Chains A and B, each alone.
Chain A
Amino acid sequence: MNQALENAASEVVELRIPARAEWVALARLCAATMANRLRFSIEEIEDVKLAVTEACNAAIQNEPQGEFITLTCEALEGSLRIRVRDDGRPGVRIQRQRMDFEEARIAGLGIFLIRTLMDEVSYDVQPQSGTELLMVKRLAARAE
């Protein structure tokens, strides 16, 4: 492992954005930058970007919706661990229309994409503090 990669493999970046659609691009840019520092391939970076976007979409569209989304990107040796946490709980509920059937189906597509593109995915749903989605993307082995 070269020096740049060694340095990257101990860094944590945290980003807190309003839980609104216009901020999702910033979250995926942040995750892409971390993936790039870890020398992920272009295709892997795109996978990470889409997974983070879908996780943020879920946080924005699901009930109860919170005020903020916190993205934590943790560079590990040979992998990138990403947490997307919302504070959606009854106390901070924001008024929005209920999802119709079609919207719910698309939300399901988002979760499917996350599961397909990332190597590990798990959820922690806490009714009193929100939902956390944890996902890991491993750096594919490459010939030197």
Chain B
Amino acid sequence: MDIKVNVREAPGDCYVVDLSGEIDVYTSPKVKDAIGELIDRGVYHLVINLEKVRYIDSTGLGVLIGGLKRVREHGGSVNLVCTNPQIKKIFDITGLVKIFGIFDNEDSAMKALV
């Protein structure tokens, strides 16, 4: 069990973080570090692509919430790409659909960045 993290620059002063695998209490520090490093460098507009994420727990949600809080302090935003119905369900029942922009594809997520 592992998580793969790939960070790439995208047009329009934003970055995409591709995640692949399972995000849980063991793997979430790696995701937290990747997002934190971008924010430390002054990147405040992020798309986090969860299309290849098979599983996420509350610690993974916590990392995403923490990242969102930090970028919002600088007027930034985080949009998510998520197509897995089980993961969408978790965002839905926790009410996080109201605080994250959640999109079916990367193009829409990028266009919607504030």
Contact = CB atoms under 8 A, between A and B. Distances in A.
B55 A49 contact: yes
A60 B26 CA distance: 11
Interface size on B, as a range, is 10 to 19
Contacts of B58: 54, 57, 106-107, 109-110, 113
Contacts of B22: 25
Contacts of A60: 25
B62 A106 contact: yes
Contacts of A50: 55, 57, 90
Interface string A41-65: 0110010011001101100110000
Contact of B61 (A22, A46, A109): A109
Contacts of A107: 58
Interface in A68-126: 102-103, 105-107, 109-110, 112-113, 116-117
A21 interface: yes
Of the listed residues B22, B57, B90, the one surrounded by the most CB atoms of chain A closer than 10 A to its CB is: B57
Of the listed residues B25, B65, B86, the one surrounded by the most CB atoms of chain A closer than 10 A to its CB is: B25
A106 B25 contact: no
A109 B90 CA distance: 11
B25 A57 contact: yes
A126 to B, nearest CB: 24
B94 A25 contact: no
Contacts of A109: 58, 61-62, 94
A105 to B, nearest CB: 8
Interface string B1-20: 10000000000000000000
B51 interface: no
Please list the 9 inter-chain residue pairs (A to B) with the smallest Cβ-Cβ separation, ordered nearest first.
Answer: A106-B62, A21-B26, A110-B58, A25-B1, A21-B25, A109-B58, A46-B86, A53-B57, A57-B25
